[in-house]
Structure 1
Amino acid sequence: NPPEAARVTIRKYLDAIAAQQAAKQTRSSAYVEVGLGHDTNVNNSTSQSQIDVPVFGNQTFTLNPTNLKTADNYYSAATGGEVSHNLNASWGLYAGADVRQRGNITQTRFDTLSLDGRAGVTFTDSGKNIFRIGGTGGRYNLARVHDRDSTGFSADWRHVYSPANQVSLFAQHGRNRFVDPAMTINDFDQTILGTGWLHALADRQSVMFGSLFLANENDVAPVTPANPSGGRADGNKQSLGVRAGGQTAMREDTELFASLGFQSGSYDKTNASFLRKRKDRHLDLSAGANWHWDKNWTLRPQFNYARNYSDIVIYRYNRRDISLTVRRDFR
């Protein structure tokens, strides 16, 4: 038997090895961020105050101010985290949650709060294929009032072709249910199927990405005395979307990023007021920078632009949002 001093030294080494193995088995990360910004359209509404309604012989109506484009300054706050645990070399578990709040300085009736959670299983095949499937759930508040709930599942597969290229397939399904009985007319189920690609450039400082997806919103609002035909005013929705973007490191502590997305959506029900089936085309642009003045601290200025064109005037809008966010990561 080794002497006592040797046994103590050996035990310390064994404990250190065990701690390293445990760290590899269980990983966790978290973040906190706060920000300030200005939004030219906090309620995603049209700027046209008077509209002609075909069902009333194109009589002109004036919209309520709450349904018109409204600008405001805002503050934002968010926190969240995720824990993953490897059961063995192939299988693992994960769970995470996020809380996000956005408060407007004057237009508080459009304040929002979202709580989202997720948990599931991962499977890794020799590091080349990564599968992930799990459940999701969320709650959304509008103006400090419980607005709607969501539940569903998500699944994705990533394949690493090379150190520079990854492809992915993903699927999501969710149930969205409004709490206020007067709003249940807007209940819907959503299914999304898509594929993505990520490419690292030869300089190892820049990445590009792209994705293509199909989405279907199934109109599931119940039949009620106030809604005898059931469903939303515009019915089911089918969409096709595409997104592309990239990120590049300008310096060791700074990255620039940008993305552009387009989505086309068609509804299958003739709107009873506007006597036509709604079609939308949505464009969005995002650009900004991440400055890491410390390995755990990030300052992010960002600009977002969105424009929705619709053949029904009340759904047309544009929006510009500029913000500055400070983030602290915990790893």
Structure 2
Amino acid sequence: MAALAAMLLFACSKSFAAPADELRALLEQGRSADAYALGRSRSEELGKPDFDFYYGIAALDSGHAGEGVLALERYVVRFPDNDRARLELARGYFVLGELVRAREEFETVLRKDPPPAVQATIERFMDSIRAQETRYAATATGYVEIGGGYDSNVNSGIGSPVISVPTLGTVQLTQAGVKSGSSFLHLGAGGSMSHPVAAGVALLGGASAEFKLNAGSFDKQFDQGALAAYGGVSAIRDKDLYRATFSLSTLEVDYNRFRDAASVGGEWHRQVDELNTGSVFLQYARLQYPSSPARDADFYGAGVGWRRAFVAPMRPVLQVQALLGQEKNDASPVRDDLSRELYTLRGGLALTPAARWGVSVGLSYTRSRFKDADPLFLVKRDDDYYGFDAGVSYRLTRQLTLRGDYLHSDNRSNIELYKYTRDLISFRARYEF
């Protein structure tokens, strides 16, 4: 990342005040830490454009991305056409994990057709961003996508139609409860925005719609549609990034509302150094099932995460997360057999093996322990979910990206009815505008 700073460092034609000259000289000598220390000692110079520019670069290069972003934001507000400053600001957002805002700044500069060397450097950052967005996190403009694939278990059904139920004896399940595979068509569209309102503070918002349409005549009853919208605010303070969001979503099955969710969440990301970031997050969600109100529940969750970038040719980025959650049924009467505690672990690795290419792999595990015995099976339900996912993307143009994804799911349960395996392969083309 420091290579980008060296590439973009430039000498302005105007004269500089002595402190800015000193910072520039130290940066040209590769002494970023000394430049940052000098800048800290001359805090009365903050707010002066030339000083902010060089101090921002020094802060980024010495592992203080939050301070660097604030200084560079002040500079860009006054000189919005300075592409070099925008690139440094984008680098700061990237380090902090603010990928949507980093993408915005990189794309703003790319639209002005910078020199080939600068374009190549930006594209490597963009490839890294795409590799980390394993489900194409919506950009600051908009997108449409189309694709398809094959789902080996569209209804999350079990393998055998015959099971033993303690309260009923041997039971023959209907076809809807048995594993069924189908090819499918995928359609999606959406967009997002990020609007700065003060130094280090931005309003966020976006919406998306995705549809999975199965090909088999029997499997069409499991067609899905997902609609979502969110809004929020993010704030950067020194090494800390704070984000608060509110979201609404609905999941449709066979064109009928299956689940509605309203959630609020808060995140805190702490930049330990230029390569490491820790995070803490909290979430509450209200879950409602219009056609099955006995399943209505409140969800509470808390978790921690770690993001580690490596200085290597393929720009690897490792992310791990752990979540502790509780889903509390609140039907009338309460169904505690549907209430559960869950624990989730997730690890993912993103790579950019070559220009235009992105690769990601991930492992996940969720343990669910239900509160009361199932009324039919007379035991408390215990589930263990194991997941593996992998994705490869290739950027044909600045706007058009091709992506292939694979997901393997294995849900193991002490109750036969809830055991299933699933393999899903999809290919998509996305156009961003």
Using structure 2 for the length normalisation, give the TM-score: 0.67
Unaligned runs of 5+ in 1: 1-15, 224-229
Q: Which residue of 1 is the match for residue 229 of structure 2?
A: 117
Distance 1:214 1:161 in 2: 24
Match of 2:206 among 96, 110, 113: 96
1:279 corresponds to 2:382: yes
Distance 1:174 1:37 in 2: 31
Distance 2:290 2:270 in 1: 40
Distance 2:352 2:289 in 1: 43
Match of 1:260 among 363, 378, 386: 363
What amino acid sits opposite 1:157 in the alignment? W
1:74 corresponds to 2:177: no
Distance 1:272 1:17 in 2: 66
Give the CA deviation at 1:17: 6.6
User: Which structure is higher in strand share?
Assistant: 1
Give the CA deviation at 1:145: 1.4
Q: Which residue of 2 is the match for residue 6 of structure 1?
A: none
Q: Which residue of 1 is the match for residue 262 of structure 2?
A: 151
Match of 1:231 among 315, 335, 338: 335
Contact 2:295 2:338 in 1 (8 A): no
1:4-28 per-position Cα deviation (integer Å, ceiling 9, x unaligned): xxxxxxxxxxxx977649x99x963
User: Which structure is higher in helix share?
Assistant: 2
SS for the counterpart of 1:92 is strand
Give the CA deviation at 1:203: 0.9
1:75-126 per-position Cα deviation (integer Å, ceiling 9, x unaligned): 1111111111111103221111111111001211000111111111221103
Q: What does 1:11-160 correspond to in 2, within 5 Å? A: 20=81, 28-56=140-168, 59-106=169-216, 107-126=219-238, 128-160=239-271
Distance 2:189 2:235 in 1: 27
What amino acid sits opposite 1:95 in the alignment? G
Give the CA deviation at 1:328: 1.6
Distance 2:432 2:199 in 1: 27
What amino acid sits opposite 1:314 in the alignment? L
Match of 1:161 among 254, 272, 280: 272
Match of 1:194 among 297, 303, 313: 303
Distance 1:122 1:30 in 2: 20
Distance 2:362 2:234 in 1: 28
Q: Which residue of 1 is the match for residue 354 of structure 2?
A: 251
Match of 2:414 among 283, 290, 311: 311
SS for the counterpart of 2:167 is helix
The count of residues paired between Structure 1 and Structure 2 equals: 301
Higher relative contact order (CA 8 A, sep 6+): 1
Give the CA deviation at 1:210: 0.6
SS for the counterpart of 2:249 is strand
Q: Percent identity, aligned pairs only?
A: 24
1:43-98 per-position Cα deviation (integer Å, ceiling 9, x unaligned): 11111211111123xx2110010011010000111111111111110322111111
Distance 2:400 2:307 in 1: 26
Using structure 1 for the length normalisation, give the TM-score: 0.87
What amino acid sits opposite 1:197 in the alignment? W
Give the CA deviation at 1:29: 2.5
SS for the counterpart of 2:269 is strand
Distance 1:162 1:69 in 2: 48
Give the CA deviation at 1:236: 1.1
Give the CA deviation at 1:317: 0.1
What amino acid sits opposite 1:109 in the alignment? Q
Distance 2:357 2:408 in 1: 23
